[in-house]
């Protein structure tokens, strides 16, 4: 997965492209590059490492050229084929062509062999370079640029967002999309292209989201569009996102800002979606479920990573509220197993980005056989366009690779979905729904209160930050939170951590416990779970572990005896405990990572939106 930008107009393209790449750096950051069109010539500059390295090159050259380039394309890469070297960085050039690509060309080896036979000499190890050579070869045969670009796309198998420049047709950027996002932005006498909205926001709010099979010939004043060879028009949309929401807002890292955004975005996600007076859940976007809800016999939740943890919580909502058997599956596993479901099954894909390839693949497998629903944060994302229905979370742009606020909005959206299904199936009275909703409206304030535990979390992080292994334990709805706490710590601090159901620990992981192993126990107020988890905690304490308890339970003397530190968050309701108990875990991961000096927002080897298998 990579970040792509393009500009054609009358302004200096360089700062526009570099600014766009900066906004997209979360999509890939092992190398970057630009192709600028100046006076009919194309200049390509590439650098390995973060975007700062590319910027340095341009800073060194400042003043070398009098005429600013008014057209260009840029790329920030996350390697799939070929190491992160300068030669493998985009744009790739071949003859008249400069081209950038996000995606994977599956038939690149056969294309490369055939092009080599025709005399093409390859410089990189990438799949992308075949597209550049193929396009140039077609141009050399005398084809007009748009037609050559069309034929190149037809020859390629796989996923792509391509941007290409032909030296002989300055003023045009050729764009194509298949299974990889790309958006066009319109200005006055200028056009923009980007993989994602934040890169466009400083320049325009008028966007066109391209669909699979779309090809665009973009110039300053005009955008020609076709889909699989047929000229089309696509609706221009107005983006309402505030550009400041895509900035760090004064925090040291996007991750911390996003943790602190949670009261706001959880409120945004529930606002206007229910009536406290009647207990009705108002989700008109799920109209197709109103009648189908009665006949549903099974729900399958699919996702990856943090979104998969949200699904584990979703299972509780759907089974407890709507009384429908519910399974949770990793999207990458689900898509390659026999699909033994029918029209009475609802398959729900949960994804922040809406672009995760495995989750997209899962929804594609289910499409046509079962009812499909996406719970997603990005309007118009690929998963949303494939699913029969979409329930949007309103977390706003999540920039940090480690997902925090998206997770909380997924939990609350899945709770609303559980209540909606319960209402439509007639298995929960209006009074019961009302009492749950009455607690739900207090969640934003409770999150704000939970965020105040940061000083205690910092103290705990100080005592644990040198540990090399962590264990996170929880029962019931706190088990997914244990998994999520461990994942967050692994992702950004590179410390090994495991999440385990507290009751399962005695069947193996207990062997790992000694005084060097911090154990984080997530303990909710629920009487049965509290008592049972407390017994497990005693087992851990007896083996010398350092114990940090995160709880929403009232003060308990026993707890003080077995725990080294206790962090308390407000209690709202049994269903919403996990959302609040997760907040100190997000902060713990963040502060341990900061203390260990890692790159919190751009952790090594990870990318925000995983559009490869």
Q: Does 3 bind ligand AGP (CB under 6 A)?
A: no
Is there a catalytic annotation at residue 608? yes
Q: Are β-strands 469-474 and 496-501 bridged in parallel, bridged antiparallel, or unpaired?
A: parallel
CA 301 to chain centre: 17
* Buried-exposed string 576-612: b where 16+ CB fall within 10 A, e elsewhere: bbbbbbbbbbbbbbbbbbbeeebebbbbeeebbbbbe
CB of 304 to ligand AGP, least distance (A): 4
Q: Is 370 helix (H, G, I), strand (E, B) or coil?
A: strand
Q: Does 289 bind ligand AGP (CB under 6 A)?
A: no
Is there a catalytic annotation at residue 384? no
Q: Does 403 bind ligand AGP (CB under 6 A)?
A: yes
Stretch that binds ligand AGP, among 419-427, 532-540, 541-549, 605-613 (CB under 6 A): 605-613
Q: 71: part of which helix (H) or strand (E)?
A: strand 71-77
CB of 307 to ligand AGP, least distance (A): 4
Q: Whose Cβ is closer to ligand AGP: residue 99's or residue 348's? A: 348
Q: Whose Cβ is closer to ligand AGP: residue 128's or residue 359's? A: 359
Instruction: State the catalytic residue, choosing from 2, 304, 311, 376.
Output: 2
CB of 369 to ligand AGP, least distance (A): 22
Q: Does 353 bind ligand AGP (CB under 6 A)?
A: yes
Stretch that binds ligand AGP, among 281-289, 322-330, 400-408, 535-543 (CB under 6 A): 400-408
List the beta bridge partners of residue 5.
Answer: 74, 194
Alpha-carbon gap, residue 136 to 440, rounded angstroms = 59
Instruction: Let me know: does 406 contact 377? Beta carbons within 8 Å.
Output: yes
Stretch that binds ligand AGP, among 113-121, 178-186, 190-198, 299-307 (CB under 6 A): 299-307
Q: Does 373 bind ligand AGP (CB under 6 A)?
A: no
Strands in 298-303's sheet, in edge-to-edge order, are 326-330, 298-303, 345-351, 371-376, 389-392
Q: Whose Cβ is closer to ligand AGP: residue 93's or residue 352's? A: 352
Q: How many residues bind ligand AGP (CB under 6 A)?
A: 16
List the one residue from 71, 93, 159, 306 that touches ligand AGP (CB under 6 A).
306
Instruction: Let me know: does 54 contact 28? Beta carbons within 8 Å.
Output: no
66 token code pair: 């009098």
Instruction: State the catalytic residue, choosing from 177, 315, 546, 608.
Output: 608
Q: Does 145 bind ligand AGP (CB under 6 A)?
A: no
370 token code pair: 């079962």
List the one residue from 401, 413, 447, 562 that touches ligand AGP (CB under 6 A).
401
Q: Does 180 bind ligand AGP (CB under 6 A)?
A: no
Binding mask 481-500 for ligand AGP (x = CB under 6 A): ----------x---------
CA distance to 3, 403, 601, 602, per residue, from 492 (Å): 21, 11, 8, 8
Nearest to 260 by CA among 516, 93, 448, 26: 448
First to last CA, the chain: 11
Q: Whose Cβ is closer to ligand AGP: residue 135's or residue 600's? A: 600
Q: Does 13 bind ligand AGP (CB under 6 A)?
A: no
- Count the Cβ atoms, other than its own, within 10 Å of residue 171: 14
Place of tokens 């205690």: 456
- Count the Cβ atoms, other than its own, within 10 Å of residue 567: 23
* Buried-exposed string 219-258: b where 16+ CB fall within 10 A, e elsewhere: bbeebebbbeeeeeebeeeebeeebebbbbeeeebbbbbb
Peptide bond into 91 cis (omega under 30): yes
Q: Does 351 bind ligand AGP (CB under 6 A)?
A: yes
User: Closest CB to ligand AGP belongs to which residue?
Assistant: 305
List the one residue from 201, 307, 347, 540 that touches ligand AGP (CB under 6 A).
307
- CA angle (166 as vertex; 162, 171 as ends), nearest 5: 95
Stretch that binds ligand AGP, among 20-28, 134-142, 304-312, 451-459 (CB under 6 A): 304-312
Q: Does 609 bind ligand AGP (CB under 6 A)?
A: yes
Q: Whose Cβ is closer to ligand AGP: residue 225's or residue 602's? A: 602
Stretch that binds ligand AGP, among 221-229, 301-309, 465-473, 520-528 (CB under 6 A): 301-309
Q: Does 395 bind ligand AGP (CB under 6 A)?
A: no
Q: Whose Cβ is closer to ligand AGP: residue 392's or residue 571's? A: 392
Q: Are β-strands 565-568 and 389-392 bridged in parallel, bridged antiparallel, or unpaired?
A: unpaired
Q: Does 582 bind ligand AGP (CB under 6 A)?
A: no
List the one residue from 80, 359, 372, 524 that touches ligand AGP (CB under 6 A).
359
Alpha-carbon gap, residue 4 to 72, rounded angstroms = 11
Binding mask 447-486 for ligand AGP (x = CB under 6 A): ----------------------------------------
CB of 356 to ligand AGP, least distance (A): 3
List the one residue from 139, 281, 387, 402 that touches ligand AGP (CB under 6 A).
402
Alpha-carbon gap, residue 164 to 173, rounded angstroms = 6
260 token code pair: 């602190």
CB of 484 to ligand AGP, least distance (A): 8
Which residues are part of the catalytic machinery? Answer: 2, 608
Binding stretches for ligand AGP (CB under 6 A): 304-307, 351-353, 356, 359, 401-403, 491, 606, 609-610
């Amino acid at each position: 997965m990579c970040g792509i930008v393009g500009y054609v107009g009358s302004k200096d393209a360089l700062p526009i492209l570099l600014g766009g790449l900066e906004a997209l750096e979360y999509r890939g950051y092992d190398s970057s590059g630009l192709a600028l069109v100046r006076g009919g010539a194309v200049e390509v500059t590439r650098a390995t490492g973060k975007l700062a390295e590319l910027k340095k090159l341009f800073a060194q050259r400042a003043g070398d050229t009098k005429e600013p380039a008014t057209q260009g394309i840029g790329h920030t890469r996350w390697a799939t084929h070929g190491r992160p070297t300068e030669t493998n960085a985009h744009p790739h050039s071949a003859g008249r062509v400069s081209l950038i690509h996000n995606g994977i060309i599956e038939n690149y080896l056969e294309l490369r062999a055939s092009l080599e036979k025709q005399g093409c000499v390859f410089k990189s190890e990438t799949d992308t370079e075949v597209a550049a050579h193929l396009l140039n070869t077609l141009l050399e045969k005398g084809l007009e640029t748009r037609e050559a670009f069309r034929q190149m796309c037809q020859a390629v198998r796989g996923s792509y967002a391509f941007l290409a420049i032909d030296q002989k047709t300055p003023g045009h950027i050729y764009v194509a999309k298949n299974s990889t996002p790309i958006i066009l932005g319109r200005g006055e006498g200028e056009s923009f292209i980007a993989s994602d909205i934040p890169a466009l926001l400083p320049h325009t709010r008028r966007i066109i989201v391209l669909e699979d099979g779309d090809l665009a010939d973009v110039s300053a004043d005009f955008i020609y569009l076709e889909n699989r060879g047929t000229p089309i028009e696509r609706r221009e949309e107005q983006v309402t996102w505030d550009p400041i929401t895509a900035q760090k807002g004064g925090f040291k890292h996007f991750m911390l800002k996003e943790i602190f955004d949670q009261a706001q975005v959880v409120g945004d996600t529930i606002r206007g979606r229910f009536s406290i007076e009647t207990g009705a859940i108002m989700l008109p976007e799920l109209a197709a479920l109103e009648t189908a809800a009665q006949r549903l016999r099974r729900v399958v939740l699919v996702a990856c990573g943090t979104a998969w943890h949200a699904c584990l919580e979703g299972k509780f909502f759907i089974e407890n509220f709507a009384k429908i058997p519910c399974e949770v599956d990793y999207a990458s596993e689900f898509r390659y197993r026999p699909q033994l479901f029918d029209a009475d099954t609802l398959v729900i894909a949960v994804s922040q980005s809406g672009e995760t390839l495995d989750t997209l693949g899962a929804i594609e497998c289910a499409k046509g056989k079962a009812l499909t629903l996406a719970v997603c944060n990005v309007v118009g994302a690929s998963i949303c366009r494939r699913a029969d229905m979409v329930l949007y979370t309103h977390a706003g742009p999540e920039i940090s690779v480690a997902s925090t606020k998206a997770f909380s909005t997924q939990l609350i959206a899945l709770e609303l979905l559980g209540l909606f299904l319960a209402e439509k199936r007639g298995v929960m009275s209006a009074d019961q729904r009302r009492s749950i909703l009455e607690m739900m409206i207090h969640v934003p304030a409770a999150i704000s209160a939970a965020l105040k535990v940061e000083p205690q979390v910092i103290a705990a992080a100080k005592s644990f930050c040198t540990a090399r292994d962590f264990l996170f334990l929880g029962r019931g709805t706190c088990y997914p939170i244990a998994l999520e706490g461990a994942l967050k710590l692994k992702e950004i601090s590179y410390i090994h951590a495991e999440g385990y159901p507290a009751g399962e620990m005695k069947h193996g992981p207990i062997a790992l416990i000694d005084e060097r192993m911090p154990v984080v126990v997530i303990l909710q107020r629920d009487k049965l779970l509290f008592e049972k988890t407390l017994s497990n905690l005693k087992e851990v304490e007896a083996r010398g572990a350092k114990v940090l308890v995160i709880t929403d339970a009232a003060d308990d003397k026993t707890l003080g005896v077995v725990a080294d530190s206790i962090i308390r968050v407000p209690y709202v309701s049994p269903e919403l405990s996990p959302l609040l108990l997760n907040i100190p875990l997000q902060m713990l991961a963040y502060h341990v990572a900061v203390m260990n000096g890692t790159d919190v927002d751009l952790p090594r080897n990870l990318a925000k939106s995983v559009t490869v298998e």
